Amino acid sequence: MNAQVELGPKGLTLPLSAGPVYFNYYWLRDNCATSTDPQTRERIFDISELPGEPVAEKAAMQNGELVIDWRGEDHRTRYSLAWLDEFARLGHIADPADLPRRLWRSNQYPSFVRLDQAQVDNDPAARALFARAIIEDGVALITCMENSDGSLTRLAQTLGEVIPTTDGFYFDVQLEIAPTNLAFTARALEMHTDLPSETLAPGVQFLHCRANTVEGGNSLFLDGAAVAEDFRNSNPADFELLATHDIPFFRRHERWDARAHQRVIELDRHGAVSGLTISQHLADVFDLPQPLLDDYYPAFCRFVHALKKPEYMNRFRLNAGECIVFDNHRVVHGREAFSAETGQRHLRGCYVDMGALRSTYRVLAREGHLGLMPEAAE
């Protein structure tokens, strides 16, 4: 046994770049390379079938590897020390799609990543930039799109398969005689995220502008994560309430009755703000305990006011042939009222799962396409 490896009753300790690092025996035995099928990459070893707890009989560091022989088993495990060092440093397996969010505020619209559809269709580097922009910034703008249903489908499928909602696989935002949603009127739309009444509100949203010749109707966009992180600093007690308690949302019509409870402020596993779920026009009767509402309602109202502050707002006109693509759990959007008699306004939309987007980016990154902006790649 190499003296550098210290064996304990439940695990071992070995020196890595950050100093001594402890690894549990169950974890070391379970993640042995022989536990995974090399073709399917699926786990084929059932650690619960071991006759007892795994214990190292001996372990050594040899030629850049940790080599373990297991007590009571005719089995040897090998780990790359570099891999163990990276895992110890990160605390998890490296994920190319685990990219930090770039928070933004007003005047960001000119800096949105812009790509034309032909680039996204034909160039994997452009697709990687597109996917990375949604992960990091939560938004990207695609231009030069055809005025066809197929154009939107083709774009969405560069990131993943279109997922259905109560509206089906696609929806059209245009005037309706008997609208089932305020979006299908000429009224202003408050700042919101889409479909909070869905048990799993959709992740990546596409809005393809097919026509826009009306007066008014500017799009309103802001980074909900930026607002919430600022709110955490200015109103920590309010932030805690909105990030801890679920409130109900609904969408009820003749053909459906969708209801779900969601948290207004969403946190990732590290405690950072990952996004929001907010929609006052789809909020149901708050069913938190009445004494809790004494504090929750004022906190909710203060946060809604924060979402209206000009320092966060981006106001722009979405033009025919453009598609705004954004993280529906982060980017809060709305619309100014427009004059229906002055022209036509038609947006066609759909959704793709955020997990599919991240999967797409991982595959592109594995092929060497990291989606870096030209200045960042130099």
pTM, to two decimals: 0.91
Task: Give pLDDT, residue 254.
Answer: 81
* Ranges under pLDDT 50 in the chain: 1-2, 176-182, 377-378
Q: How far apart are CA 27 and CA 267, in angstroms?
A: 27
List of E strands, 177-309: 189-192, 204-212, 215-216, 219-223, 246-252, 257-263, 265-267, 273-276
Q: Are residues 138 and 219 in the same domain?
A: yes
DSSP 100: P
102 inside domain = no
Indicate whether 262 and 361 sit together in one domain. yes
- At which of 90, 121, 136 does a domain end? 90
What is residue 378's predicted lDDT score, i.e. its pLDDT?
A: 43
Residues 184, 138, single domain; the answer is yes
Indicate which CATH number applies to the domain containing 296: 3.60.130.10
Q: Say whether both 198 and 238 belong to one domain.
A: yes
Q: Which of 177, 184, 164 is nearest to 281 (CA)?
A: 184
Q: Supply the pLDDT for residue 377.
A: 47
Assess whether 81 and 137 both reside in one domain: no
Same domain, 170 and 271: yes
Are 181 and 310 members of one domain?
yes
pLDDT in tens, 195-233: 999 999 999 999 999 999 998 889 999 999 999 999 999
Does 160 fall in a domain? yes
Q: How many domains, the chain?
A: 2
CB 344 within 8 A of CB 224: no
Q: Is residue 99 part of a domain?
A: no
Report the pLDDT value the prediction gives residue 290, as an integer from 0 to 100: 98
271: left (phi over 0), alpha (psi -120 to 50) or beta: left
For 159, 265, 294, 339, the CA distances from 291, given in Å and listed in that order, are 45, 21, 5, 44
Same-domain check for residues 322 and 175: yes
Is residue 202 a contact partner of residue 165, using CB atoms and an 8 Å limit? yes
Question: Which of 57, 90, 123 finishes a domain?
Answer: 90
Co-location of 170 and 204 in the same domain? yes
| Gap between the Cα atoms of 242 and 262, Å rounded | 10
Over its C-alpha atoms, the chain yields an Rg (Å, rounded) of 25
pLDDT at 373: 74
Q: What residues make up the domain containing 28?
A: 6-90
Assess whether 315 and 167 both reside in one domain.
Answer: yes
